[in-house]
Amino acid sequence: MTERPGQAGDATGGSAPATPVCYRHADRETYVRCTRCDRPICPECMRDASVGHQCPECVNEGRRSVRPARTAFGGGAAGRRGLVTRTLIALNLLMMVLSVASDGGGDSMAGGGLGGLLGGGTPLTQWGAVLAEWPPQFPVEGIVTGEWYRLVTAMFLHYGLVHLLLNMWALWVLGRDLEALLGPLRFLALYLVAGLGGNVAAYLFSSPNSASAGASTAIFGLFAAVFVLMRRLGRDTSAIVPILVINLIFTFTVPGISIPGHVGGLVTGAAMGWVLAYAPRMRRSVFQSVGTAIILVALLGLALVRTAALTG
């Protein structure tokens, strides 16, 4: 049998075919090919696939073409890690440390003691709590003088360590499940808007020279949102109602608690929960964004009305 030059078995005429090299590293020989594009890839460029290996470009292209996982309410799956909940708790703890430091380690205002750890106000809580205005004999300060930041900062300040720990325990219990259900961004929006709603209610219905602070405005909003979301999913809410009732009883019977703040946070959280839970599937993100914006505008309008009434 006569063999042609270059064919297998030719000992004299043909040259052996060149060894393939990695398409990204020309100095590395390899016989492994990407199962998607068939280009040679070296061990450094191999990415495990369901069958064989793929090159980095094919892996990235595949990730772009795969729709990311979403929760029942349109949020990202990253919420399962609870990073927003942990961050909010850390921020509240940091503000407590700063509050104690602002008192210089001395007795806090209103007879708390130990720089605010046992309760009472500190210079930081005086600066950031919800407050319409001080009485005339004090230097004028408060929301009516343009200190609108108080409607936000108040939800991160607390009167004493017990006040802080109770709220952070509730945030830890509620926050992780809600964040996993809603996703990080939607959960953060719920928390902040509910806290803002409670602070606006405290501004509307409290005495002008009465200060209030605490994360409980947002916490009550989380309670209401849990109830709305569970109803939307058709799940049992019998365990939530007694907790809500007990917290409301404490709100109305324990002295020193801001009733408008708690109730305002509850109502705002319920409104946000409805917006997030009942958004139409086809236009979910748009509906949720517009609904949140409407709630924010309504809260701002109420605060402006209160300011006009106090300054008019």
Catalytic residue numbers read: 216, 262
pLDDT at 149: 97
The amino acid occupying position 259 is: I
d(CA 115, CA 96): 10
Tokens 């850390």 locate to 90
> 55-69, 90-104, 254-268, 278-292: which has the minimum mean pLDDT?
55-69
Instruction: Kindly report each contact of residues 161-170 with a partner whose C-beta sits within 8 Å and lies 24 or more positions away, as own/partner.
Output: 161/96, 161/117, 161/118, 162/119, 163/119, 163/214, 164/92, 164/93, 164/96, 167/92, 167/214, 167/215, 167/216, 167/219, 168/89, 168/92, 168/93, 168/215, 170/216, 170/219, 170/222
pLDDT at 271: 97
User: Dihedral of CA 206/212/218/224: which sign?
Assistant: negative
Instruction: Kindly report each contact of residues 307-310 with a partner whose C-beta sits within 8 Å and lies 24 or more positions away, as own/partner.
Output: 307/143, 307/144, 310/132, 310/133, 310/144, 310/208
pLDDT of 83 strictly over 90: yes
pLDDT at 68: 58
Tens-place pLDDT, residues 153-168? 999 999 988 899 999 9
pLDDT at 3: 44
pLDDT of 111 strictly over 50: no
pLDDT at 119: 64
The reported pTM is 0.76
**Cα–Cα distances in angstroms (integers) from residue 189 to residues 81, 185, 265, 303, 312, in the given order:** 17, 6, 13, 19, 33
d(CA 104, CA 72): 48
Question: What tokens appear for 303 in the block?
Answer: 């605060």
d(CA 79, CA 40): 38
More confident residue, 122 or 8: 122
Taking the CA atoms of the chain, what radius of gyration do you get in angstroms? 30
Average pLDDT over residues 82-108: 86
Nearest Cα residue to 179 out of 97, 277, 78: 78
Tens-place pLDDT, residues 115-162? 456 667 888 999 999 999 876 656 778 999 999 999 999 999 999 888
The amino acid occupying position 297 is: V
Q: Are strands 47-48 and 53-54 parallel, antiparallel or unpaired?
A: antiparallel
Tens-place pLDDT, residues 31-53? 888 888 889 889 888 888 777 88
Nearest Cα residue to 210 out of 309, 148, 145, 121: 121
d(CA 135, CA 140): 7
pLDDT at 36: 85
What is the number of other CB atoms lying within 10 angstroms of the CB of residue 9? 8
More confident residue, 61 or 209: 209
Walk me through the domains of the chain, giving residue ranges and CATH numbers.
20-59 (no CATH), 77-311 (1.20.1540.10)
